Chains A and B, each alone.
Chain A
Amino acid sequence: MRGKLKQSRFEKHHIEDFIGRSYMSFCVLLLVVIIISMVYFVASKGVSTFISGDVTVSQFLFGTKWSPEAETPSFGAFPFIAGSFLVTFLAALIASPLSICAALFMTEIVPGWGKKLLQPVIELLSGIPSVVYGFIGLSVIVPFLRNTFPGQGIGVAAGALVLSVMILPTITSVAADALSSLPQNLKESSFALGATRWQTISRVIIPTTLPAIMTGVVLGMARAFGEALAVQMVIGNAPFIPRSLFESASTLTSVITLGMGNTTMGSAHNNALWSMALVLMLMTFVFIFLVRLLERRNKI
């Protein structure tokens, strides 16, 4: 009786195991298929611009004139590539110090109520839809910039400011995770040597967790690079390299979202937009590669 019971339990366990394993393999397989097909789709559509002979790769990447609907269309995407990098780096520059300070505050300065207060706020920030950020940018940041600086407020600076708020939670949460996972004895030995809290933070904690914090910064930049809607609303979308921070410019994503619906599939304009999507995808790969690289350094 007892042996039988054991036997059946054993079988049930096996069945469960089998179901679990096949379900998991199915999920993994699905994921791989989805990723491969997406990469294939974007790549095949993206290279059609160059295959059809409308534009060469270097004309596309380094050309500065974008007028796809003109009599003799030209497809130079350089202003958008430059715009994307510009807003991304500016946003990271604004957001990184703020995020690192917030993370330090949460983990080192006031771990108790500081974390209880900040964590939900930061989670809230990451949950707000990007169209809301765009609208706040349009209603608050743009008029502020217009009244304070020369120009119309719309432009690279507005885009970078909106983006910096959007990537704040990403960097903060990764940095906070890294800081809280730091071995306690490192801090304790630093204090034992007579170091102050500031000395401990600046000489011990930050240098040790820097690769992990950088991972957060790169992840934030990846998000900033791919963000479309909020930036599109405040950046102005003129296809030029901006001469000042307060002048209208474009990013890859803003041009894609503006043009995709209004062009017909297979037209040269539409193909050029897909090529931009390909550039965006390749950039995402670069960001992921960077994160991997940092993670490897982190382990040592």
Chain B
Amino acid sequence: MQFRKSWIMTLALTSVVALAACGNNTTTNNGGNNGAATNAPTEASSGADISGSILASGSTALQPLVEQVAEKFMETNTGVDIQVQGGGSGTGLTQVAEKQVDIGNSDVFAEEKLKDADADKAAALVDHQVAVVGISTVTHPETGVDGLTKQQLVDIFTGKVTNWKEVGGADQKIQIINRPGSSGTRATYESFALGMKTEDLQGSIQEDSSGTVKKMIGETPGAIGYLGLSYLDDSVKAISYDGVEPSVDNVISGKYPVWAYEHMYTNGEPNETVKAFLDYFMTDEVQTGDVVELGYIPASKMQVSRDLEGNVTTK
């Protein structure tokens, strides 16, 4: 009996200690990171290998790429510890603006999210555009439509056109599969494919992840939505936009306009460790290797560039 009691006691105690340790861990981790970030330049400038720790958070669309590149970077730079968290673009931007993380990953320009009272926070952030994502209009395979014009898309997404036969397809009701209003992908699609913000329509469907969106479009008759180019496969049909095929080459040459940068923001100029990591991102090895491999488009290959206002210029 006594044995059992003390045993339970030990178990309970350990769990509390573990819990307490967990709590401590997160706080010291954040603090430690900031400390390491400020210490890193002195260590690196003394000629030794780069070391320190980097904490990145934000966009789930960019997360797999950053994770893969971080792992490679840590293999060659054993003194560096990089942690990548998700959370969404808004979270990444908030955390990097408040210096809780070293890098904030975002699908959209910081100025688009940090507005009004937070505008000065956005001004302090430094943008590093590491990749480009092309977004294609996608339909269920049996809608009978191969391409749509900008005006037709606007009519569909504003609810003016509700049947595929009105745009030259089968006699079938159009089902919109949207992303939530705060999504970066939706913002990109609205500004560059539709040219306007749209309201949610009664009966439209909103799904948060690209995987679910693809599943829904592939299974729902008459469905239309939009997906990153890396998600496309035979289960859904990518249709052309104003006669231009959504393809990597067309995005690179600037013919296909629906694309967005993937940003990695730092608060002020990055320290040596973070800079080394971001520089490594832009090397040919990563840009033509991991970036392409994971379905993104290398930012370094782009023949056009675009600013915050959406003005496209040829490089």
A contact set with B: CB distance below 8 Å: 20, 23, 26-27, 66-71, 138, 142-143, 146, 152-154, 232-233, 236-240, 243, 247-248, 257-267, 269-270
Contacts of A248 in B (CB 8 A): 202-206
Chain B interfacial positions (CB closer than 8 Å to A): 9, 12-13, 16, 60, 86-91, 93-94, 97-98, 113-115, 117-118, 175, 180-184, 197, 199-208, 212, 215-216, 219-220
CB-defined A-B contacts under 8 Å, sample of 18: A138-B215, A152-B220, A236-B204, A240-B203, A247-B202, A248-B205, A248-B206, A258-B206, A260-B88, A260-B90, A261-B88, A261-B91, A264-B91, A264-B93, A267-B90, A267-B115, A269-B182, A270-B90
* Bound Cα distance from A232 to B215, whole angstroms: 15
Distance of A238 Cα from B178 Cα, bound (Å): 9
Given known A-B contacts A27-B16, A237-B180, A261 and B205 have beta carbons under 8 A apart:
no
* CB pair A237 B175 closer than 8 Å: no
Which A residues are in CB contact (< 8 Å) with B88? Answer: 260-262
- Chain B residues, CB < 8 A from A143: 219
Question: Do residues A266 and B184 form an inter-chain contact, with CB atoms below 8 A?
Answer: no
Contact B16 A258 (CB under 8 A): no
Report which of B13, B115, B118, B200 forms a contact with A239, defined as CB distance below 8 A: B200
Residues of A within 8 A of B205 (CB): 152, 154, 236-238, 248
Separation of A154 and B204 alpha carbons in the complex (Å) = 10
Q: Known contacts A27-B16, A152-B175; is A67 also within 8 Å of B200 by CB?
A: yes
* Given A70-B197, A138-B212, A261 and B206 contact (CB-CB distance below 8 Å): no
CA distance A263 to B117 in the complex (A): 14
Known contacts: A262-B90, A266-B117. The answer to whether A69 contacts B13 by CB under 8 A is no
Rounded to whole angstroms, the CA-CA distance of A240 and B199 in the bound complex is: 12
Q: Known A143-B219, A239-B200, A264-B114; judge A20-B9 contact (CB<8 A).
A: yes
CB distance B208 to A238 under 8 Å? Answer: no
A143 and B220 alpha carbons, distance in the complex (Å): 8
In the complex, A26 Cα to B15 Cα: how many Å?
13
A232 touches B208 (CB 8 A): yes
Smallest CB separation, B17 vs chain A (Å): 11
When the two chains form their complex, are residues A238 and B16 in contact, meaning their CB atoms are under 8 A apart? no
Also in contact, A264 and B90, with CB within 8 A (given A67-B181, A70-B197, A258-B180): yes
**Residues of chain A contacted by B180 (CB below 8 angstroms):** 237, 258-259, 262
Evaluate contact between B90 and A146: CB separation under 8 angstroms.
no
Point out the residues of chain A lying under 8 angstroms from B181, CB to CB. Answer: 67-69, 259
For residue A108, give the distance in angstroms from its CB to the closest CB of chain B: 35
Separation of A66 and B180 alpha carbons in the complex (Å): 12
Contact assessment for A265 and B206 in the assembled complex, using a CB-CB cutoff below 8 Å: no
Q: How far is the CB of A20 from chain B (nearest CB, A)?
A: 7
Are the C-beta atoms of B182 and A238 separated by less than 8 Å?
no
B90 touching A71, Cβ below 8 Å: no
Alpha-carbon gap, A261 to B179, bound state (A): 13
Residue on A with the closest CB to B114? A264
CB nearest to B223 among chain A residues: A152
Contact of B212 among A233, A264, A267 (CB under 8 A): A233
Given contacts A67-B200, A237-B205, 20 further A-B contacts (CB under 8 A): A26-B16, A68-B181, A232-B208, A237-B180, A237-B207, A238-B202, A240-B200, A240-B202, A243-B202, A247-B202, A247-B203, A258-B206, A258-B208, A260-B91, A262-B88, A262-B89, A263-B113, A265-B90, A265-B98, A270-B90
Enumerate chain B residues within 8 angstroms of A262, measured Cβ to Cβ: 88-90, 180, 182-184
A233 and B207 contacting across the interface, CB-CB below 8 Å: yes
A263 to B35, CA, bound (A): 28
| In the complex, residue of chain B having the shortest beta-carbon distance to the beta carbon of A66 | B200
